[in-house]
Structure 1
Amino acid sequence: MRVSAVVAVSGLSLLTPAAALVPVKFVNDCINFATGFENENTEVLSSTYVLKGTVIPLPDSCALSVTARANFCRVKLKITTSSSSQVITEAWLPTDWKGKGKRLVMNGNSGWGGCIQFEELAWTSGLGFAAIGHDTGHVGAVATGFTNPEVWKDWVYRSVLVATQAGKAATNHFYKTSLKKSYFIGCSTGGRHGLKLAQDYPDEYDGILAAAPAAYWPNIEISEALYAQAVGAEGSPTYLTRAQWDAVDAATMAQCDNIDGVLDGILENPADCAFDPEVMLCGSGQTWLLNGCLTAAQVQTVKTLYSPVTGNNGRYIYPGIVPGAMPSQGMILKYGPYAGFGARDFLRYVVFNNASYDLAQFNLDTADLILDNEWFGAYSNKSDLSGLQASGNKLLMYHGLADVAIPPTASYEYYDSVASNMSLTSSGLDPFFRFFPISSLGHCAQGKGAGYVGGPSQVQFYPGAANSVPAGNSALMSLVKWVEKNQAPKTLRGYKLGPLGETLGQKDHCKHPLKTTYKGHGNPNNRGSWKCT
């Protein structure tokens, strides 16, 4: 192990009254963290004491700054994974740790990674966890580095493993005692990592929270490429503007909103909505500007995106987008001239190693090529969780039902595949695997209803929620209670939040296969107006 001598005390002046409140031994241990620390292929880059309330500048491409929610020792590590790859990991080790259960939480990534989720580190260290994060093995939310197979391998699975080992070692070394419980939380790519851990490394974490997991990967990128072609470039006959997608959503709500018994602009179960976009087709002489209707080509675009994605000879690839999801969190399928970054970057930097590859070149033969390759284990859809079951550890999965990026149908399919493979009913899965559909929640965060559940990648969109929403009601702490007190969650508490994080409504989302059902009376923003059936 190599050690750098970069140490500092951030947000602290020895001349200020705050200095008197700082535990001197803790600060000294932080400054001298590197002394005696050993972990394979790991270099300590810095160890810095940070005061609660400090605004921490972040010199990377993913965030400008974050405010510390605890007094903590910030440790930055570099882990060498090969001769041409490395993973940067941070451990935020709060002063009040031993009194908060001696817990560790690994905060997962989203998209192509490349950025430590600092907002998550601030949130979870503020709850008393030793909070760990990593950059998945490359810098920035771009995929150019994936032309190096070792960097790609880090993104697929290796980064989370080495960061886990280093994070545990750092925690035990710093506090000079063994941590009691470890947790993983992640959404999207982080959710995929969570499933990967549950499937292949079930002993690493006592509890795993996998939100909107990209389990069927790279099927997602194939569907994205085909969607890009179906939508076309802006201005093409098949393209819909944001206003037109909003109109599609309005027509969807007009047709389906009342199915769940209440007109609240939310589809409690989108699968019950068989929306027919033909109702928006322009008649003779009608136009969008005059009549708010769609052309036949645009109607076909909507149908294509709402239908399952299939390949050569009808090969099933991925579920379609669910009704009511399109406008979620301001996202629309605007690809410009085939500029969908996920599919484009995967094809350019992983599949073909050709930076000029254009999605217009994509075809179903390429889809077969991708589907028939393991990509170093990028799939996280193994349906045998017997290792997790035997370990006694827990997997809590949830998915937003207004997710346009990863259709929630994929998580239903994964849950059903586990039940089928293991020959278990829902009650048989309940001791170690529970799934919660969250109505109105977009991809990881945002949406029109009570979608804030205190899970990964949510605090960054609702910075006030860490103060206004009781931490004990969060999905993370629900997992902790399940692991440590055997209090298995039957619902996840969701909050409808205003722009400052203020609570505008609540709903208890039911565990699948139960349905969150309106009682037929009462304010839909009141959780007492709903039940599980």
Structure 2
Amino acid sequence: MTYGRLRAGLAGGIAMAALAACSETTEPATHDEPAAVETVSTGDSCSALAELALEDTVIVSSGLVEAGALELPSAPGARPVDTSALPEFCRVTGSIRPTEASDIYFEAWLPLDDSWNGRFMQVGNGGAAGAVVYSSMTAPLTRGYAVVNTDTGHRGAMGDFSWAMGEEERLTDYQYRAVRETTLKGKDITEAFYGAAPDASYWFGCSTGGRQGLVEAQRYPDDYDAIIAGAPANNWPPLQLSSIHFLNNLSDDRLPVSQLGLLKDAAIAECDGLDGLSDGIISNLAECPFDPASLACAEGDEPASCLSPSAVEAARSLYAGIITSDGTVAMPGPGYGSESEWAAYVTPFFRIGTSYMQNVVLEDPDWDPATMDIDTHLAMLVEHDQGRTTAMDPDLSAFVENGGLLLLYHGMADGIIPHDNTLNYYQSVVETLGEDVASEHVRFFSVPGMGHCSGGDGASAIDWISAIENWDQSGVAPALIEATHPEEGFTRPICEPPYTVTYDGEGPEDDATSFTCEAP
């Protein structure tokens, strides 16, 4: 498959950047008293939304925000959100309360009539949520979307589930109800403001946001016409054990975090050239033969430049994933080239699996993650979840019968959620729907060198919104999509598995037209 003919339009620091890219959800919510916004006369349609009567909903504020004038609360550890290019828009804040325990904060940003593209979009969260993801709302707004987001019903950091202990209703809000309620109320607000229902409704989210999108497709197949789901955290129970597995293996007496760069460099050196070009990017994970034992220390080696026997064992265990005693791979391991991002799970604020086990499953804040037993604790996770957070159902027949389109993507160098988890889910969907139906409604793109949701060594700047718009409007599914490295500017095609990006050996190495998508 030739791109030219089908053109469609140190370790800890890298790990922290990967988490920031996880829908940018490091902002703790400070919205119990939303920042005041400038309003015009009480007769205008924006301020009038304050009087809109919606079931189980309190509209806290509504008012016009002048172009480039939005001020957002700052928070420790949060990336600043650039609002200077935002157009004038109507900002609505509110709380949805379907149960006595619920307080689902949301915001709706509505472009003015002459700027609205006629469409509605909800954007997703990351990790444990707990904040509105302002950084994910800006791009849809500038493109003319009526865009909404929610904190999913609690306030907290993205790796923290302490709020959920003994709070079944609030946990349900996080699992699926908050997104559904925000979808319904967001559409009602959109229709009330413009006097017409949106022509189309799209979902866009990565990580937890990818899981949320799949939950919508599986539980509420009528809600969205098209869903973009990146690196979805949909295989929930073993993903929590994977977090703990990283924590237990990344230590000075096992595999020191300081040696993750050594692993990554060796893996890239081993497998970079499989695509015909040595550019620091692994494009063919399936054929990569890397074994961390190649870095085992020999007599006379400097300890910092090689792996101890325990480090080799730990690395092999992490690459293998979460495996039960009968040999079942419950969660694949991370791909080669993702090693720098593994350190995220060791940071105090993102021990998410440990927090979930302590506060949600065991209700024991003193539980020691070092005591994790895969068989025992996986069974407990599955029993507790009952499919409420998990979104692994491959039967999307109701969604596709409504004309729904699903665009999946995943970075091949994702060290937070393994790429092959999404590949396995996609293959199960194709098998369930049949290749003919799936080819019209489902696409999955693997992005070489991209980390968790974005970033990494590969070309990771990708216009997913245009891809889904073009697909929805033309009826023609994307075959290839172009990606750009955000700093260095080189371009690459991204391909659907089992095709892999391959250099043609002749053209400019920084141009996507010099690469093809080749079958294995």
Decide: shared fold, TM above 0.5. Answer: yes
Report the equivalent of 1:18.
none
Q: Which residue of 2 aligns with 1:245?
A: 260
Residue of 150, 161, 166 corresponding to 1:143: 161
How far off is 1:230 after superposition? 2.5
State how 1:18-33 maps to structure 2 within 5 Å.
28-33=44-49
Q: Counterparts of 1:249-398 in structure 2 under 5 Å?
A: 249-289=264-304, 292-328=305-341, 332=343, 335=346, 341-364=351-374, 365-375=376-386, 377-398=388-409
SS of 2:210 mapped into structure 1? helix
- CA offsets 1:338-378 (integer angstroms, 9 cap, x no match): 98611111011100112222212322312222234434511
Give the 3-state SS of the residue equivalent to 1:313 in structure 2.
coil
Is this contact kept in 2: 1:216–1:379, CA < 8 A? yes
Residue pair 1:231, 1:333 contacting (<8 A) in 2 also: no
Deviation at 1:446, TM superposition (A): 0.6
Shift of 1:59: 5.9
RCO higher in 1 or 2 (8 Å CA, sep ≥ 6)?
2
Question: What secondary structure is seen at the aligned counterpart in 1 of 2:407?
Answer: strand
Cα deviation, residue 106, structure 1 = 0.2
The aligned runs of 1:88-237 (5 Å cut-off) are: 88-95=105-112, 97=113, 100-141=116-157, 142-147=160-165, 148-232=167-251, 235=252, 237=253
- Where structure 1 has 5 or more consecutive residues not aligned to the other structure, the ranges are 13-23, 454-473
Residue aligning to 2:71: 56
Counterpart of 2:7 in structure 1 is none
How far, CA to CA, are the matches of 2:36 and 2:256 in structure 1? Answer: 53
One-letter amino acid of the counterpart of residue 408, structure 2: M
Distance 1:339 1:40, change over 3 A: closer
Find the partner of 2:446 among 417, 422, 437: 437
Amino acid at match of 2:236: W
Q: Partner residue of 1:494? A: 483
The share of aligned pairs that are identical, in percent, is 29
- Matched residues in 1 for 2:236 and 2:34: separation? 40
TM-score by length of 1: 0.85
Change (3 A) 1:197 1:46: same
CA contact (8 A) 1:450 1:497 kept: yes
Alpha-carbon contact 2:120-2:145 (below 8 Å) kept: yes
**Using a 3 Å threshold, how does the CA distance of structure 1 residues 301 and 27 change in structure 2: closer, same or farther?**
farther
- What CA distance in whole angstroms lies between the structure 2 residues aligned with 1:27 and 1:407? 52
Distance 1:184 1:405 in 2: 22
Pairs aligned (count): 481
Q: Tell me, in whole angstroms, the C-alpha distance in 1 between the residues paired with 2:75 and 2:181.
A: 21
Give 1:63 shift.
5.6
Whole-Å Cα distance in 2 between the matches of residues 32 and 39 of structure 1?
13
* Cα deviation digits, residues 404-446 of structure 1 (max 9, x gap): 0011000110011112223x12x44121111111111100111
**In 2, Cα distance between the equivalents of 1:334 and 1:197?**
27
Contact 1:441 1:451 in 2 (8 A): yes
Change beyond 3 A, Cα 1:249–1:63: closer
Name stretches of at least 5 consecutive residues in structure 2 with no aligned partner: 1-31
Contact kept, 8 Å, 2:41 with 2:47, in 1: the verdict is: no
RMSD between aligned residues? 2.3
